[in-house]
A and B are shown apart, each in its own frame.
Chain A
Amino acid sequence: MERLLRIDRRIIFAFVAAAVTIPLLIKFDLPVPATKEVRGIYDKIDSLPEGSHVLIAFDYDPASKEELQPMAVALLHHCFKNNIKVVGMTLNPGGTGLADSAITEVGKEYGREYKEDYVFLGYKTGVELVMINMGENIYSAFPKDFSGNATADLPVLKGVQSLQDFDFVVDLASGSSIEAWIAFGKEKYNFDLGAGCTAVIGPDMYPFLQSKQIDGLMSGLKGAAEYETLIERKSSAVAGMSPQSVVHVLVVLFVIFGNFLYFMTGRKK
C-alpha cells in the first residue's frame, strides 16, 4: 500500500490526459441544464428590445481564453441574433486581440456592420479611473475606437452619452475587475450589470448575486456551456462538459482513494 502512494506522478498525469481526451473522441451528450445565475443574464438580454445597447467588457487575457472566450462568443451570438447593438472594450492589454476577433467574427456571421451595429473601443488602463470616466462621458474615456475612428461620429453609439445609457453591461473577467465594475461603475452610475468570470473567482461572486449587485453570473466553462444551451447553439463549451464530468469523477476518486490509503497506513507523518 505504501507503494501505491508513491507511484510516479507521471502515471497520474497520463490518467488525466486520458480522462480528457477519450470523452472528446467518443462524444457522448450530457444534459446541461441552466442554473438561475446564468439564466439571469440570458433573461436580461432576451428582454431587451431591438436596438438596445449592450456594453461587453472583455477583461481577460489568453491565460483564461479557454474559459472565457466560449462565454464571450455565446453572449455575442445572443446579442447579434436579437439585433442588439454591441459595444466592446477591454481593461486588459492581452485581451484586445481576443475581443476584437470574437466581436468581428460573430458580427460578420449575422451580417452586422461595424460602426453601425457594433464597435470595439479597444484597451484603456487605469481600471476604476476608466469606469468613472466612462460614467461621466464615454467619449472622454474613448475618443477613438480600436481601429482609430472618432467615437463621437459612430452611429452605433447614438443615444449613448455615459455608462448610464447602456441597457446592460456585462463584464467578462479573469481578475478582480467585477468588483471594480460594481463599486465604481454600477453602484456609482446605476446600470444593470451581469458578470462572467473564471471558475476560480466564481465562488467569490455569490455575495454580489445575493445583494442583487449583479443580475447574473456565468462562471467558468460550465457557465459558458449553460449559455450555449440557452441560446440553442451548442459548441465547444457544451462539448467540453463530458470530459469535464469524467475528469471531475477521476479527481474525486483520487481524493477518496488517497485519503483511504492515508488512513489505512495510520496517518503517519
Chain B
Amino acid sequence: MNKKTDVLTLTWILIAFCIVNIFFLVTGKLGFDAKGLGIITAVALTLAMYSFLYKDNPVFKIAENLFVGVAMGYWIIITWFNILKPDVYEQLIVPLFKDTGNAPQYTVIIPTILGVFMLLRFSNKLSWLSRWSFAFVVGLGAGITIPNFIHAFILKQLTFDSLIAASLPDSINNFLILLGVVSVLIYFFFSLEHKGVIGGVSKIGVWFLMIAFGASFGFTVMARMSLLIGRIQFLIRDWLGIIQ
C-alpha cells in the first residue's frame, strides 16, 4: 500500500518535471542545445538528490552512484592531463621517440617506477613492492612534517603577551587567552588525576571547549544553509528564471 503511494508520487513528479521542461523548451526559455539540456540535466540531478528528504529511494541511489562514477572518471582524466601527461609522458617518453629539442629526463624513471609499484598493492604476489612506494611517500611526509609543524604550529602559536596591556579589555582578553590555551591543554593531559587544582582548571578547559564547539556549531549551520541557498538560487534563477 505504502509502496504504491510512493511509486505514484514518483510518477507524478516525473510527469510534472517533463511537462515543465517541455514547456520551457517549446517557448524557448531554455535552448535546445548543450546549455539548455545541461541545465535540465543539472536540475534533474539536484531534485533527485533532494528526494532523499522524502526517504531513501531508487532515484536518489541512481543519482548518487552516477555522481560517484562521473567524479571518479573526472579525477582519472584530470590526473592524466595535469600530472601523468606533462610530468611523465612528455618529459620521458616523447623525447625518446621524437626530437622535441629537449633531452629525455631520465630521473623521471624513479618516481614512475615507484608509482607503478604502488599499484601492485592489489596483486597477490607482488603487493610487497607497493610498500616501497608507500614507505617513500610516508617517510618523506613524516620527515618534512616534524620541523615545519614545530615551527608553524607550536613555536609560532606560543604567544607570551603581557597581562597588563594598553587597556583593561585587552588585559582581560590576554588573560582569558592564556587561561583558555592552558586549561584546554590540561584537559587533554592524561598523566594526572583531574582533582584539586588540576581538576578545577580542566573544568575551565571544558567550558572553553564548549564555547569553541558552540562557535563551530553555529558556523556549520551557516555553512549547510549557504549550500542550500546556493542550490535554491540555481533552481529559481537558472532553471525557472523567476529571479535575475
A residues neighboring B (CB under 8 Å): 10, 13, 16-17, 20-21, 24-25, 27, 64-67, 93-94, 96-97, 122-125, 128-129, 132, 143-144, 146, 148, 179, 182-184, 186-188, 198-200, 202-204, 207, 210-211, 213, 219-222, 236, 239-240, 243-244, 247-248, 251
User: Is B15 an interface residue, CB under 8 A from the partner?
Assistant: no
Identify whether the interface residues of A are mostly helix, strand, loop, or mixed.
Answer: helix
User: Which of A16, A184, A219 is close to B148, meaning CB atoms less than 8 Å apart?
Assistant: A184
B residues neighboring A (CB under 8 Å): 53-54, 71, 74-75, 78-79, 81-83, 86-87, 90-91, 140-141, 144-145, 148-149, 151-153, 156-157, 159, 177, 212, 215-216, 219-223, 225-233, 236, 242-243
Question: What 10 A-B pairs are tightest by C-beta distance, nearest first?
Answer: A66-B230, A221-B226, A199-B223, A183-B152, A144-B86, A187-B152, A123-B82, A199-B219, A240-B229, A122-B82
4 other contacts beyond A27-B243, A64-B227, A221-B229, with CB at 8 A cut-off? A25-B242, A67-B227, A128-B148, A148-B81
User: Which of A20, A143, A211 is close to B157, meaning CB atoms less than 8 Å apart?
Assistant: A211
Residues on B with beta carbons closer than 8 Å to the beta carbon of A210: 159, 177
Q: With A200-B220, A203-B212, A219-B219 known to touch, is A24 a contact of B83 (CB < 8 Å)? A: no
User: Which of B53, B144, B223, B226 is close to A184, meaning CB atoms less than 8 Å apart?
Assistant: B144
The answer on a CB contact under 8 Å between A244 and B229 is yes
Residues on B with beta carbons closer than 8 Å to the beta carbon of A213: 152, 156
The answer on a CB contact under 8 Å between A220 and B233 is no
The answer on a CB contact under 8 Å between B230 and A221 is yes
Q: With A20-B225, A183-B149, A219-B219 known to touch, is A94 a contact of B71 (CB < 8 Å)? A: yes
B89: shortest Cβ distance to chain A, in Å?
11
Residues on B with beta carbons closer than 8 Å to the beta carbon of A124: 82-83
The answer on a CB contact under 8 Å between B232 and A248 is no
The answer on a CB contact under 8 Å between B225 and A244 is yes
- The CA of A132 and the CA of B223, in the complex, are separated in Å by 31
- The CA of A243 and the CA of B232, in the complex, are separated in Å by 10
A30: shortest Cβ distance to chain B, in Å?
14
Q: In this complex, which of B149, B157, B221, B230 has the most chain A Cβ atoms within 10 angstroms of its Cβ?
A: B230
Residues on B with beta carbons closer than 8 Å to the beta carbon of A16: 228
Q: In this complex, which of B91, B221, B226 has the most chain A Cβ atoms within 10 angstroms of its Cβ?
A: B226
Residues on B with beta carbons closer than 8 Å to the beta carbon of A13: 53
The answer on a CB contact under 8 Å between A244 and B226 is yes
User: Which of B156, B159, B221, B236 is close to A251, meaning CB atoms less than 8 Å apart?
Assistant: B221
User: Which of B75, B140, B216, B220 is close to A93, meaning CB atoms less than 8 Å apart?
Assistant: B75
B166: shortest Cβ distance to chain A, in Å?
16
- The CA of A13 and the CA of B53, in the complex, are separated in Å by 8
Which residue of chain A has the shortest Cβ distance to B181 in the bound complex?
Answer: A207
User: Which of A10, A17, A122, A211 is close to B54, meaning CB atoms less than 8 Å apart?
Assistant: A10
User: Which of A24, A144, A198 is close to B232, meaning CB atoms less than 8 Å apart?
Assistant: A24
The answer on a CB contact under 8 Å between A187 and B242 is no
- The CA of A184 and the CA of B141, in the complex, are separated in Å by 11
B228: shortest Cβ distance to chain A, in Å?
6
Q: With A200-B223, A203-B212, A240-B230 known to touch, is A94 a contact of B151 (CB < 8 Å)? A: no
Residues on A with beta carbons closer than 8 Å to the beta carbon of B225: 20, 243-244, 247-248, 251
The answer on a CB contact under 8 Å between B243 and A25 is yes
Residues on A with beta carbons closer than 8 Å to the beta carbon of B233: 24, 236, 239-240
Q: In this complex, which of A66, A94, A128, A247 has the most chain B Cβ atoms within 10 angstroms of its Cβ?
A: A66
Q: With A21-B236, A187-B151 known to touch, is A129 a contact of B140 (CB < 8 Å)? A: yes
Q: With A93-B79, A188-B148, A199-B219 known to touch, is A243 a contact of B229 (CB < 8 Å)? A: yes
- The CA of A20 and the CA of B90, in the complex, are separated in Å by 50
